[in-house]
């Protein structure tokens, strides 16, 4: 069976820029971090599209209040733990690399993965 995944090079040929690809992902319902996030690259977006990296779809996002959010490092660890418990192993970031998305995105993903956290 042939590999049908689109590489970052293929995407670059089809989509003019990272901004275009990010917009395309949003239009297709992926709840990806903001364009300015250090996490968001063409490679990252390609892996999200091919389901190698998990992000929730907008239709799955459940918002919950968090009056006193923890710092971003702690929040990132909570999200990684919740993802592991939900069987969503790869979110595209790790504590070791420290390439976390912004706090608002992390809070929304945490409330989606574990609404009772």
pTM for this structure? 0.83
What are the sequence ranges of the domains in the chain? 8-113
pLDDT < 70 stretches in the chain? 1-15
pLDDT of residue 18: 94
pLDDT of residue 63: 94
Q: Other C-beta atoms within 10 Å of 61: how many?
A: 13
pLDDT of residue 80: 95
């Amino acid at each position: 069976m042939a590999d049908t995944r689109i590489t970052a090079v293929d995407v670059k040929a089809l989509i003019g820029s990272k901004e275009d690809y990010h917009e395309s992902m949003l239009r297709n319902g992926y709840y990806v971090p903001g364009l300015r996030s250090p996490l968001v690259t063409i490679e990252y977006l390609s892996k999200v599209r091919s389901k190698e990296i998990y992000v929730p779809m907008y239709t799955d996002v459940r918002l919950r209040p968090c009056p006193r959010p923890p710092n971003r490092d702690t929040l990132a660890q909570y999200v990684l733990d919740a993802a592991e418990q939900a069987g969503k192993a790869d979110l595209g970031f790790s504590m070791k690399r420290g390439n976390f998305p912004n706090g608002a995105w992390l809070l929304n993903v945490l409330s989606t993965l574990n609404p009772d956290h």
